[in-house]
């Protein structure tokens, strides 16, 4: 599409500022109410994250305890039980890291220039996404290794029944890392563009 010169066109600034706009002016009460709703939304999101993490931790701990304390235990039971305990610890570590990396919501501030503020936010997000293996995947690996390792060592287990879920797990973890790194690359490009201009 090409737009060509037209001497009868109004001045772009006048055209822009002349738009028929009805600004929404809020009262202090409305602003406070909206502000409280935002705080509540953030609190609820955090609670939901803790709840989801808590369910995983409790379920893993219960499974691990049931396997370890439920009766005479052989080596596979020890490994699987230990694996579930390790998963619970991994979930706890991951949840705390998630809170540290993505929590602590910051609000727009007029003291910083837009570029600085925008860049800081982009860097925070990029670093969290790029290092997702270290803080989100790695804590779960000991648990997965113990659980799948026990199955591999069990001579009575059918190979494909062990191999298939292990491969699905690995594929899922690889996808999580890939998707996050891809998102980080998009953000990185935006940061590089900003840096060229300041």
Partner 1 sequence: MADQTSRETLYRTIAREQGEAIARLAAAYEKDAVLRQDLEQDIHMHLWRSLKNFAEQCSLATWTFRVAHNVCARHVDKAVRARPAGAWIDIDDVEPADGRATPEQATGTALTLERLYALIGRLRPIDRQVVLLYLEDVDAAGIAEISGLSPGAVATRIHRIKALLAQGFQSEAVA
Binding residues for partner 1 (CB under 8 A)? 1-6, 8-9, 12-13, 15-17, 19, 21-26, 28, 31-32, 34-35, 38, 107-118, 121-122, 125, 183, 185-187, 189-190, 193-194, 197-198
State the nearest-atom distance from the C-beta of 2 to partner 1, in Å.
Answer: 5
Output 23 or 104, the one with its CB closest to partner 1: 23
State the nearest-atom distance from the C-beta of 22 to partner 1, in Å.
Answer: 7
Angle (CA) 75 77 80, round 5°:
110
Rg (CA), the chain: 26
State the nearest-atom distance from the C-beta of 27 to partner 1, in Å.
Answer: 9
C-alpha to C-alpha distance for 101 and 119, rounded to whole angstroms: 16
C-alpha to C-alpha distance for 100 and 104, rounded to whole angstroms: 7
- Give the SS3 label for residue 185: helix
Output 157 or 177, the one with its CB closest to partner 1: 177
State the nearest-atom distance from the C-beta of 188 to partner 1, in Å.
Answer: 9
Output 8 or 155, the one with its CB closest to partner 1: 8
Q: Is the dihedral of CA 128, 132, 136, 138 positive or negative?
A: negative
- Give the SS3 label for residue 47: helix
State the nearest-atom distance from the C-beta of 121 to partner 1, in Å.
Answer: 7
Output 13 or 159, the one with its CB closest to partner 1: 13
Output 69 or 192, the one with its CB closest to partner 1: 192
Give yes or no for a contact between 144 and 83, defined as CB atoms under 8 angstroms apart. Answer: yes
C-alpha to C-alpha distance for 78 and 132, rounded to whole angstroms: 30
């Amino acid at each position: 599409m090409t737009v060509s010169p037209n001497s009868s066109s109004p001045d772009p600034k006048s055209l822009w500022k002349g738009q028929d706009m009805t600004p929404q002016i809020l009262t202090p009460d409305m602003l406070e109410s909206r502000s409280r709703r935002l705080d509540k939304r953030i609190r609820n999101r955090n609670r939901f994250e803790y709840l989801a993490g808590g369910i995983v931790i409790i379920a893993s701990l219960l499974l691990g305890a049931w396997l370890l304390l439920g009766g005479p235990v052989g080596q596979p039971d020890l490994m699987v039980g230990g694996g579930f305990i390790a998963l619970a610890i991994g979930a706890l570590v991951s949840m705390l890291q998630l809170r540290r990396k993505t929590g602590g919501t910051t609000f727009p501030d007029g003291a910083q220039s837009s570029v600085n503020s925008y860049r800081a936010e982009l860097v925070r997000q990029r670093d969290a996404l790029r290092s997702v293996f270290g803080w989100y995947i790695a804590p779960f690996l000991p648990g997965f290794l113990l659980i799948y390792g026990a199955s591999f060592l069990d001579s009575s287990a059918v190979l494909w029944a062990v191999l298939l879920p292990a491969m699905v797990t690995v594929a899922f973890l690889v996808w999580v890392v890939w998707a996050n790194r891809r998102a980080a690359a998009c953000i990185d490009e935006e940061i590089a563009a900003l840096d060229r201009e300041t």
